Amino acid sequence: MALIDLANPTRFLNFAERVLPWLVAATLFAFAIGLEQALFVAPDDYQQGATVKIMFLHVPCAWLGMFCWGLMTVAALGTLVWRHPLADVAAKAAAPIGAAFTFLCLFTGSMWGRPMWGTYWQWDARLTSVLVLFIMYLGLIALWRSVEDPGRAGRAAAVLTLVGAVNLPIIKFSVDWWNTLHQPASVFRIGGPTIDKSILVPLFAMAIAFTLLFLTLHLAAMRNEILRRRVRSMQMLRVFADEDMRQIESRA
């Protein structure tokens, strides 16, 4: 099957039905390995002790919160430029998942910050820009819910998504541009990671598991959104048919 074939919603539904069981199995397998590595293999940090285990949740959630908005940005271009039939579906399905991962990033960061920094929250550039990302997710979800026509809602949401994408480099480089309580990048940086391999390997294992979870949830949510639009169009057909019948009866 060529990638372009998936632009057809019916073909996409068939594809999702075939792929989802494998994705679920891969996600469960990856989490079994990731959690075993994170909870039982990774050593305590020499300074942070066991609280380093929070990192195995916090960092993948932070990556996914940003990755999800990046994916929605590509989908927004698909909606506005190429008018791809599934671009809007992909963006709408991704928003609640991205919001959930961003919330988890904020919450786990707070749980990590209290014992390490002495505070749950600090209005520094990194934390504030991630909070802005979370609020933008909520705004997008609200926008989709407030406009009844999916086409109009999708175009408005695509514009908002593109504007919001400006926040992604701000989040990434906030720790370099400003003095922040949050530490600078320690994994993806010039010169390589500053984290020891014994902790880096479990971190990547958990990142792979969370990414597979995201892909599984996103594919399933896209399938649901296609079905929801199918239901909507069928309900409208039914209303029109009922209206036609009433007019015929009134003439008779």
CB 205, min distance to other proteins, A? 15
Query: Which one of 25, 28, 32, 50 is in contact with other proteins (CB under 8 A)?
Result: 50
Is residue 49 at the binding interface for other proteins, with CB under 8 A as the rule? yes
Residues 209/34, Cβ–Cβ less than 8 Å: yes
**DSSP per-residue string spanning 160-201:** HHHHHTTHHHHHHHHHHHS--SS---SSSSTT---S-HHHHH
126 binds other proteins (CB under 8 A): no
Q: How far apart are CA 18 and CA 9, in angstroms?
A: 14
- Asked if 98 and 68 count as a contact pair (C-beta separation under 8 A), the reply is yes
For other proteins, which stretch binds (CB under 8 A), given 69-77, 111-119, 165-173, 197-205?
Answer: 111-119
For other proteins, the binding residue among 119, 183, 224, 247 (CB under 8 A) is 224
Q: State which of positions 149-208 bind other proteins (CB under 8 A).
A: none
CB-based burial, 147-176: b 16+ in 10 Å, e otherwise: eeebeebbbebbebbeebbebbebbeebbe
Minimum separation from the CB atom of position 160 to other proteins (A): 22
Q: Please list, in sequence order, all residues whose beta carbon lies within 8 angstroms of the beta carbon of residue 59, skipping any fewer than 6 positions away.
A: 187, 203, 206, 207
State both tokens at 133: 């990302």
**What type of residue is 41?**
V
Candidate list 119, 198, 233, 247; residue touching other proteins; CB under 8 A: 233
* Six-digit token string for 20: 């989802």
Q: Would you count residue 59 as binding other proteins (CB under 8 A)?
A: no
Q: Minimum Å distance from CB 49 to other proteins? A: 5
Taking CB under 8 A as the rule, does residue 234 contact other proteins? yes
Question: 153, 143 in Cβ contact below 8 A?
Answer: yes
Please count the residues of this chain forming the interface with other proteins, following the rule CB under 8 A.
Answer: 38
List 23, 92, 199, 223, residue binding other proteins (CB under 8 A)? 223
Q: Which of 77, 168, 181, 220 touches other proteins (CB under 8 A)?
A: 220
- Residue 115 binds to other proteins (criterion: CB under 8 A): yes
Q: Judged by CB under 8 A, does residue 40 bind other proteins?
A: yes
Closest distance of CB 80 from other proteins, Å: 26
> Which span (44-52, 62-70, 84-92, 194-202) binds other proteins, by CB under 8 A?
44-52
Reference 51, options 101, 122, 110; nearest CA is: 110
Q: Write out the E strands in the chain.
A: none
What letter would DSSP give residue 49? B
Residues in contact with other proteins by the rule CB under 8 A = 39-40, 44, 49-51, 53-54, 57-58, 61, 96-97, 100, 103-104, 107-108, 111-112, 114-115, 213, 217, 220-221, 223-224, 227-228, 230-231, 233-235, 237-238, 241
